């Protein structure tokens, strides 16, 4: 059975930085509150006049991953994008990215799994490669969450940011690469974090028509507790399934929602914080983009090295959560 190796990573973020001082101009908040409760100092905001769409950010991240892997567009047979903020309800972000990168031999589709979108996409790509159905998969997490934000809700607008990350997965005979993927959901809690797709306001003549303003809504306190227990639990499952212990892990790349959640997961897993990669201070919560964005930064800055055991762990709306355990093979930053 072939193994799925990550042979290239890439990422892309919008140019515009909105720091906490900038947010103080928009809502009643402070740098002190945001930093203490979340660890976030700034986030990137996609701008229309710069054409920083979800598809454009995803395509840029994809091209960088392809370049690192030395993979041409026509080699890619599958494009899977984790996203909750595609530029259009349909078609998929993946199809729009396919056009940008000219990968016309691929099947392209999106996965909606909240902030776990990239982990769900990795799970599918890994299984496709292991089953011999795919040889070269492009897996992307791309988001423009700021289009869903209610800029009057200080409880949520300070948390989110835009960006994209990508990975090329290729089939290899040599053992390694993705050791296992694990995904879980619990729809009983879907209403802790959601966004409607709306058509507000309804015309008078069509009173009674389904109509909802489409802003993201969140119950932060309850999510916090679910996030910590779910991420720690699935990380333990991944370790046990592979006969590994916490000491075997060189780096954990968690979903970058909030520094306090990451610290609580570290404490629960009894893995020191210096083995957790964090960049949430620079980008905030970029949902599906957060893990591939962090993974690319860790890879390019040599925080991950050949042979390292790396744990990716996510949590998001749905509720959804997931873990992927990897044995890293050297990639060529080019
Ligand atoms: N600035 C200043 N004050 C604020 C802000 C803000 N931006 N937001 C809320 N407050 C106030 C509240 O109004 C409240 O005031 P009150 O005590 O006078 O009523 C006070 O701060 C405390 O509010 P809480 O919501 O209880 O604050 P909490 O300590 O829970 O922190 C936070 C809020 C940071 C959102 C926290 O609940 C959290 O991190 N939750 C997880 C959220 C998250 O990460 N979601 C995404 C994960 S899932 C995913 O990524 C899809």
Q: Where are the domains of the chain?
A: 1-329
If you measure from the C-alpha of residue 266 to the centroid of ligand 1, how many angstroms do you get, rounded to a whole number?
Answer: 21
Find out whether the beta carbon of 189 lies less than 6 Å from any atom of ligand 1: no
Q: Which atom of ligand 1 is closest in space to residue 255's alpha carbon?
A: 50
* Ligand 1 contact, 37 CB (< 6 A): yes
Rounded to the nearest angstrom, the distance between the alpha carbon of 17 and the centre of ligand 1 is 22
Give the model's pLDDT for residue 200: 67
Report the pLDDT value the prediction gives residue 196, as an integer from 0 to 100. Answer: 84
User: Which residues carry out catalysis?
Assistant: 115, 255, 285
Q: From the CB of 93, is ligand 1 less than 6 Å away?
A: no
Q: Is 283 in the pocket of ligand 1 (CB under 6 A)?
A: no
Q: Is 257 in the pocket of ligand 1 (CB under 6 A)?
A: yes
Q: Give the pLDDT of residue 163.
A: 98
- Predicted local distance difference test score (pLDDT) of residue 48: 87
Distance 219 CA to ligand 1 centre (A): 8
Kindly give the distance from the C-alpha atom of residue 47 to the centroid of ligand 1, in angstroms, as a whole number: 26
The 3-state secondary structure of the chain, one letter per residue: CCEEEEEEEEEECCCEEEEHHHHHCCCCCCHHHHHHHHCCCEEEECCHHHCCCHHHHHHHHHHHHHHHHCCCHHHCCEEEEECCCCCCCCCCHHHHHHHHHCCCCCEEEEECECECHHHHHHHHHHHHHHCCCCCEEEEEEEEEHHHCCCCCCHHHHCCECEEEEEEEEEEECCCCEEEEEEEEECHHHHHHEEECCCCCCCCHHHCCCCCCCCCEEECHHHHHHHHHHHHHHHHHHHHHHCCCCHHHCCEEEECCCCHHHHHHHHHHHCCCHHHECCCHHHHCECHHHHHHHHHHHHHHCCCCCCCCEEEEEEEECCCEEEEEEEECCCCCCC
Q: Would the CB of 224 count as within 6 Å of ligand 1?
A: yes
Mutational pocket test of ligand 1: of 37, 218, 219, the residue with most ligand atoms within 8 Å of the beta carbon: 37
Of the CATH numbers 3.40.50.300, 3.40.710.10, 3.50.50.60, 3.40.47.10, which one belongs to the domain with range 1-329? Answer: 3.40.47.10
**Around Cβ 301, how many Cβ atoms within 10 Å?**
10
**Segments of the chain scoring below 70 in pLDDT:** 198-200, 203, 210, 332-334
């Amino acid at each position: 059975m072939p193994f799925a190796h990550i042979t290239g990573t890439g990422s892309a973020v919008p140019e515009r930085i909105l720091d906490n001082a900038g947010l103080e101009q928009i809502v009643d908040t402070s740098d002190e509150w945001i930093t203490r409760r979340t660890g976030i100092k700034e986030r990137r905001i996609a701008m229309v006049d710069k054409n920083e769409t979800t598809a454009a950010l995803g395509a840029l991240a994809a091209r960088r991953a392809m370049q690192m892997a030395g993979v041409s567009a026509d080699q890619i047979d599958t494009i899977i994008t984790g996203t909750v903020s595609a530029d259009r309800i349909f078609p998929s972000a993946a199809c729009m990215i396919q056009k940008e990168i000219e990968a016309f031999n691929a099947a392209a589709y999106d996965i909606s799994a909240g902030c776990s979108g990239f982990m769900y996409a990795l799970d599918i790509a890994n299984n496709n490669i292991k089953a011999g159905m795919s040889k070269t998969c492009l897996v992307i997490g791309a988001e423009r969450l700021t289009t869903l934000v209610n800029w009057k809700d200080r409880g949520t607008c300070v948390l989110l940011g835009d960006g994209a990350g990508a990975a090329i997965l290729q089939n290899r005979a040599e053992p390694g690469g993705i050791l296992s993927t694990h995904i879980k959901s619990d729809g009983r809690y879907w209403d802790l974090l959601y966004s409607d797709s709306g058509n507000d306001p309804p015309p008078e003549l069509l009173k009674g028509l389904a109509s909802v303003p489409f802003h993201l809504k969140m119950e932060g306190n309850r999510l916090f507790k679910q996030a910590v227990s779910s991420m720690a639990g699935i990380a333990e499952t991944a370790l046990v399934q592979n006969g590994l212990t916490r000491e075997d892990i060189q780096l954990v790349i968690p979903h970058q929602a909030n520094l306090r959640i990451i610290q609580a997961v570290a404490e629960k897993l009894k893995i020191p914080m210096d083995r957790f990669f964090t960049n949430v201070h620079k980008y905030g919560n970029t949902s599906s983009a957060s893990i591939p964005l962090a993974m690319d930064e860790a890879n390019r800055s040599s925080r991950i090295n050949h042979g390292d055991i790396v744990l990716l762990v996510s949590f998001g709306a749905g509720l959804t959560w997931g873990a992927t355990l990897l044995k890293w093979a050297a990639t060529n930053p080019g």
